[in-house]
Structure 1
Amino acid sequence: MKAILTTIAVIFFGTLTMAQSASTETKVDTVAYTVTLDIQIDTDSKKETKVARLYRFKNSRIKKALSFRTKRNRAKLA
């Protein structure tokens, strides 16, 4: 019973203090700036051909590297 009354009192006084604080809104002056774009595009760019390797199985190197086993990975007979 005491815990219930304490929680009700805390909630009541909390809402009471929040209701009494008058929040004044301050007005802010906005400033507008103009933006100029100076973009130069180089048309003399060279096209590079890249070589892509094709593997027979997807992620074959990764799977091989992650599937290694050590002597300690094996189950021991008790």
Structure 2
Amino acid sequence: MKTILTLIFVLFIGVAAQAQNDAVQVKVETIVMSIVNATEKQEVAIKSNNSLARLYRFKNSKVTKELSFSTKLNKAKLA
């Protein structure tokens, strides 16, 4: 009996929520913009930059080290 009343109550609240009339309708103004074809070339200067890259034995080793921290709250408490 309790489940039937709960189901009827939930359905009644759902129907009442959908029956709300939203009288305010907002009109949106559209803007027409023309398309401009622009063909402009930009010259890019190529630089030969010799940079040093560090190689780690394990991928993302620093990230996994930082993410594997443990706090005092992570440890089990003995009663």
Bucket of the pairwise TM-score, normalised by the shorter protein: 0.3 to 0.5
Taking structure 2 as the reference length, what is the TM-score of the superposition? Answer: 0.45
Q: Larger radius of gyration, structure 1 or 2?
A: 1
